[in-house]
Amino acid sequence: MPDETALAGQEIGISDSAIARIAKLIAEDGNDDLMQRIAVSGGGCSGFQYGFNLDDKRNDDDRVFERDGVTVVVDEMSLELLAGSELDYVEDLIGSYFALKNPNATSTCGCGSSFSI
């Protein structure tokens, strides 16, 4: 179990548009146990890449963030790179996608799916 003192201040914000999109995806799936998982892995153009998927399982090292009935989980290691970020859902000319506004990233790739610290 993570040390709560060490994790203090490591939060993820969730925008209104992300809440609406996650709620819609869960409703379409019909499984009320689903939650949005955010993970960081090595790779991508800039060194790390974001991963977004729906999951119905919580791991021992997950931090849980809830807002307006929507649950977002982030593993402890990813949270170290994402602390202070905001999950957003963007709809623009290049398409619709989840994005993170990550204050820890020193650079990002053009599409915003990868970053470096």
Domains within the chain, CATH numbers bracketed? 10-105 (2.60.300.12)
- Using CA atoms, how far residue 90 sits from 11, 47, 85, in Å, is 21, 23, 15
User: Among 101, 117, 115, which Cα is nearest to 48's?
Assistant: 115
Place of tokens 């021992």: 60
Is the per-residue pLDDT at 63 higher than 70? Answer: yes
pLDDT tens, 28-40?
999 999 999 999 8
d(CA 83, CA 49): 15
d(CA 81, CA 102): 8
> Rounded to two decimals, what is the model's pTM?
0.81
Would you place residue 54 in the very low, low, confident or very high pLDDT band (cuts 50, 70, 90)?
Answer: very high
